[in-house]
Structure 1
Amino acid sequence: MKKSEQTTPNALLRHARDQRGWSREYVAEKIGSDPKSLGRWERGVTFPQPYYRQKLCELFEKNAQELGLMPGGADKTDKGIDSGLSPRLQGTLPEASGASQPPAAPILSIWNVPYRRNPFFTGREAALNALHAALTHGKAIALTQAQAISGLGGVGKTQTAVEYAYRYHDAYKAILWARADSHETLVSDVVSMVTLLKLPEKDEQDQNRVLDAFKRWLQENDDWLLILDNADDLMMVNDFLPSLGQGHILLTTREQVTGRIAQRIEIEKMEPEEGALFLLRRTHKLAIGAPRDNVSYTYWNKAIDISRMLDGLPLALDQAGAYIEQTECGLAGYLDRYQKHRSVLLGMRGPSVSDHPEPVATTWALSFEKVQTANLAAADLLRFCAFLHPDAIPLEIITDGASELGPLLEIAAADLIALDMAIGELRRFSLLRRDPENQILNIHRLVQAVIKDGMDQDTQRRWAERVVRAVNRVFPDGTFETWQACERCLPQAQVCAALIKQRDVLFEEAGQLLSRMATYLQERARYAEAKSLYYQALEICEKTLGPEDSKVAQILDALAVLYFYQGKYSQAESIEQRALAIREKVLGLDHPDVADSLNNLATICQEQGKYTQAEPLFQRALDIWERKLGPEHRYVASALSNLGLLYYVQGKYAEAEPLYIKALSLNEQTLGLEHPEVAYKLHNLAMLYRMQGRYVEAEPLFVRALLVREQALEPDHPDMALSLNNLGGLYRLQGKYDQAEPLLLRALSIRESKLGLEHHHVSYSLADLGLLYYAQDKYSAAEPLLRRALAIRKQVLGSVHPDVAEALENYADLLQKMNRQGESAELDAQARTIRAKYAEEDKIQ
Structure 2
Amino acid sequence: MKDLRERLTSNNKTALTQAIHGLGGIGKTQIAVEYAYRYQEKYDYVFWIQMADDTDESIPHSSTDPSLTILNSYVGYCNKLQVSFDENEVETAKHAFKNWMGLNKNWLMIFDNADKPDCLESFLPVQFQGHVILTSRANSFTRLGILESLEIKKLTLDQANDFLIKRVSRQLNSTEEKYARALAIEIDGLPLALEQAGAYIQETAITFKRYLKLYKNLRIELLEEQKPVLGGYAKTVQKTWLLNFQAVEDELPAAVEVLRFCSYFAPDAIPYNTITAGASFLNNSIQEVLEQAIDPILGVAKLLKPLSKYSLINIEPGEERFSIHRIVQEVMKTQANSIEEVKELEEQVINVVECIYPWTDYDNRSVAFQLFSHCLIAAEYVNKNLIVTSRSTSLLGKLGRYFFYTGAYKLAEPLYHQALLISNSLVEKDLDKDEAIDQVVVSLNNLAMLYRRTQQYFDAEPLFIQAIDIVENQNVPENDLMLASLYNNLALLYKVWDHQEKYNRIEQLYLKALVIMRSHDDQSREVASVLSNLAAYYETKGRNQLAQKNFKLAIRLLRTKYEQGEINPDLGSAINNLANLYRSQEKYGKAKPLYKEALEILNESLGPEHPTTKTIFLNNKVNDEKLKL
> What TM-score, normalized to structure 2?
0.63
Aligned: 1:63 with 2:10 = yes
Structure 2 counterpart of 1:584: 472
Shift of 1:645: 0.7
Structure 1 counterpart of 2:31: 121
Change (3 A) 1:351 1:734: closer
Supply the distance in 2 between the matched residues of 1:533 and 1:385 (Cα, whole angstroms).
24
Structure 2 counterpart of 1:531: 413
Matched residue count = 443
Change (3 A) 1:674 1:422: closer
In the alignment, which of 466, 472, 495 is matched to residue 606 of structure 1?
Answer: 495
Name the aligned partner's letter for residue 426 of structure 2.
T
In the alignment, which of 328, 335, 344 is matched to residue 462 of structure 1?
Answer: 344
Structure 1 counterpart of 2:216: none
Structure 2 counterpart of 1:405: 282
In the alignment, which of 250, 269, 281 is matched to residue 392 of structure 1?
Answer: 269
Report if aligned partners of 2:346, 2:381 keep a CA contact under 8 Å in 1. yes
State how 1:811-822 maps to structure 2 within 5 Å: none
In the alignment, which of 601, 610, 622 is matched to residue 514 of structure 2?
Answer: 622
Structure 2 counterpart of 1:477: 359
Name the aligned partner's letter for residue 707 of structure 1.
E
Supply the distance in 1 between the matched residues of 2:556 and 2:494 (Cα, whole angstroms).
26
Name the aligned partner's letter for residue 9 of structure 2.
K
In the alignment, which of 357, 361, 367 is matched to residue 244 of structure 2?
Answer: 367
Supply the distance in 1 between the matched residues of 2:247 and 2:27 (Cα, whole angstroms).
29
Report if aligned partners of 1:550, 1:586 keep a CA contact under 8 Å in 2. no
Secondary structure, counterpart of 2:519 in structure 1: helix
In the alignment, which of 487, 507, 511 is matched to residue 389 of structure 2?
Answer: 507
State how 1:664-743 maps to structure 2 within 5 Å: 664-672=555-563, 674-735=567-628
Structure 1 counterpart of 2:441: 553
Secondary structure, counterpart of 2:547 in structure 1: helix
Report if aligned partners of 1:549, 1:586 keep a CA contact under 8 Å in 2. no
Shift of 1:475: 0.8
Report if aligned partners of 1:515, 1:533 keep a CA contact under 8 Å in 2. yes
Report if aligned partners of 1:377, 1:409 keep a CA contact under 8 Å in 2. yes
Shift of 1:249: 9.4
Report if aligned partners of 2:457, 2:497 keep a CA contact under 8 Å in 1. yes
Shift of 1:264: 8.8
Secondary structure, counterpart of 2:311 in structure 1: coil
Supply the distance in 2 between the matched residues of 1:249 and 1:261 (Cα, whole angstroms).
19
1:56-107: per-residue Cα shift (whole Å, max 9, x none)? Answer: 547xx423899xxxxxxxxxxxxxxxxxxxxxxxxxxxxxxxxxxxxxxxxx
Report if aligned partners of 1:553, 1:579 keep a CA contact under 8 Å in 2. yes
Shift of 1:381: 0.4
Structure 1 counterpart of 2:90: none
Secondary structure, counterpart of 1:434 in structure 2: strand
Structure 1 counterpart of 2:319: 438
Name the aligned partner's letter for residue 476 of structure 1.
P
Q: Percent identity?
A: 24
1:181-217: per-residue Cα shift (whole Å, max 9, x none)? Answer: xxxxxxxxxxxxxxxxxxxxxxxxxxxxxxxxxxxxx
Report if aligned partners of 2:224, 2:236 keep a CA contact under 8 Å in 1. no
Secondary structure, counterpart of 2:267 in structure 1: coil
State how 1:654-669 maps to structure 2 within 5 Å: 654-669=545-560
Larger relative contact order (Cα-Cα within 8 Å, sequence gap ≥ 6): 2
Change (3 A) 1:612 1:369: same
Report if aligned partners of 1:229, 1:252 keep a CA contact under 8 Å in 2. no
Change (3 A) 1:373 1:645: same
Change (3 A) 1:457 1:262: closer
Change (3 A) 1:531 1:644: same
Change (3 A) 1:594 1:425: same
Change (3 A) 1:731 1:585: same
**Which consecutive residues of structure 2, in runs of 5 or more, have no partner in the other structure?**
14-25, 36-152, 182-191, 199-218, 229-234
Aligned: 1:639 with 2:586 = no
Name the aligned partner's letter for residue 603 of structure 2.
E
Aligned: 1:571 with 2:431 = no
Supply the distance in 2 between the matched residues of 1:228 and 1:406 (Cα, whole angstroms).
31
Supply the distance in 1 between the matched residues of 2:335 and 2:449 (Cα, whole angstroms).
44
Supply the distance in 2 between the matched residues of 1:704 and 1:228 (Cα, whole angstroms).
46
> What TM-score, normalized to structure 1?
0.48
Cα RMSD (Å): 3.7
State how 1:96-135 maps to structure 2 within 5 Å: 121=31
Shift of 1:623: 1.7
Structure 2 counterpart of 1:453: 334
Supply the distance in 1 between the matched residues of 2:498 and 2:4 (Cα, whole angstroms).
76
1:14-50: per-residue Cα shift (whole Å, max 9, x none)? Answer: xxxxxxxxxxxxxxxxx8xxxxxxxxxxxxxxxxxxx
Change (3 A) 1:579 1:380: same
Supply the distance in 2 between the matched residues of 1:584 and 1:123 (Cα, whole angstroms).
75
Change (3 A) 1:552 1:355: farther
